[in-house]
Structure 1
Amino acid sequence: MDIRTRLISTAEQLFDRHGFNATGMDRLTAGAGISSRTLYKHVGSKNGLIAAVLNERDRRFHRQVEKDSIDALFGALEAWSAQESARGCLFLRACQETGGDVPEIAEAMARHKQRLRDRIGQIVVAEIGRRDDELVETIQLLFEGATHMAAYRGITTVDVARRAAQRLADAARAS
């Protein structure tokens, strides 16, 4: 594993477990086994590192949710929560902890959320045979809510959201 990959992987684990503000540069360099000079050479700044972590997480997440049904989408969320963590959305946590005004972090979050919305939009068309922006918004709300509830209620909440989303899609198809 190259230095940048090791740094990003270590940083993601530390940020997810301890938060962005509580994870200092000393902890990051020690965890990755590199010097602070090497860290800055590869990512430029802590905000640059956060953005790199989010972009890598986005890539992995969207590879996992490349599904074509509501059932499979929520199944992917269950698997993601079991594998990665059930601590809520790392993108929203990054924006909250950094105040939401760090451009590279805000852009990473906006891009991630738009990609999720686009995926859900494709699933809605596949499930009901037409576009339905309100249904897309509602399913994304259920998906995001399940992501956060899993942090304190367990991943079984994902199944509740899945069933609700499927009922809404079934009703939209029937109307």
Structure 2
Amino acid sequence: MNIDAKLISVAEELFDRHGFNATGMDRLAQAAGMSSRTLYKHAGSKNELIAAVLMTRGQRFLRRLELDSVAALFDALASWMGEEGARGCLFLRAQGELGTALPEVTEVVAAYKARFSETVRRILTRQLGASPDEELVEQVVILFEGATAAASYRGPAAVATAGRAATLLALRGQA
């Protein structure tokens, strides 16, 4: 693993477990086994590192979503949570913790959410055999995001429940 990939991996783990504000650059350098100087050389600023972590995580998650049904979408979320944990959406946590004052982070969050909505649209199109209306796409996205948040305190059953509701909405979209 190259130094940039190692740094992003370590930073993702720390940001996910401890939060963005609570994770300082000294803690990141120590966890990555590098000097602060090396960390800044590779990461730039903390905000740039946060943006890089979010972009990398988003790409990793979206690669899992070449799916043909809403049910499979929620199964993929349950699988992700089984591997990564259920602490809520790291993108929404970043936005909530850091606000909109950091344009590099805000832009990454907005871009990821747009790509995710487009992914849901493609999944629905495959399932329905036609383009879904925007209301259905938005309903599935909101159920997905709600399941992601609810699973952090209700457990994985929240994902299954939201998945069943989204599947029913998609079936209505076929009618």
Q: TM-score, normalised by structure 1?
A: 0.96
Post-superposition shift, 1:85? Answer: 1.7
Q: Which runs of 5+ in 1 are unaligned?
A: none
CA distance in 1, matches of 2:44, 2:22: 19
Equivalenced residue count is 174
- Runs (4+) of structure 1 exceeding 3 A deviation are none
Aligned-pair distance for 1:62? 0.5
How far apart in 1 are the matches of 2:99 and 2:167? 35
Q: Aligned runs of 1:130-169 on 2, under 5 Å? A: 130-169=131-170
Partners of 1:65 and 1:77 within 8 A in 2: no
Tell me which amino acid in the other structure corresponds to 2:120. Answer: I
The answer to whether the 8 Å contact 1:147/1:158 transfers is yes
Show CA shifts across 1:103-153 (max 9, x none): 111111111111110011112222222321100000000000000001111
What secondary structure does 1:88 align onto? coil
Instruction: Give RMSD over aligned pairs.
Output: 1.0
C-alpha separation in 2, matches of 1:86 and 1:108:
21
Task: Indicate conservation of the 8 Å contact 2:88/2:149, yes or no.
Answer: yes
1:44: Cα distance to partner? 0.8
Quote the offset at 1:50 in angstroms.
0.3
Tell me which residue corresponds to 2:41. Answer: 41
Bigger CA drift: 121-130 or 45-54? Answer: 121-130
CA contact (8 A) 1:64 1:76 kept: yes
Please say if 1:92 is aligned against 2:92.
yes
Corresponding residue of 2:13: 13
TM-score under structure 2 length normalisation: 0.96
Residues of 2 paired with 1:34 and 1:142: CA distance?
41
Shift in Å, 1:8: 0.6
Consecutive unaligned residues in structure 2, runs of 5 or more: none
By how many angstroms is 1:45 displaced?
Answer: 0.5
Q: More displaced, 92-101 or 40-49?
A: 92-101
2:119 matches 1:122:
no
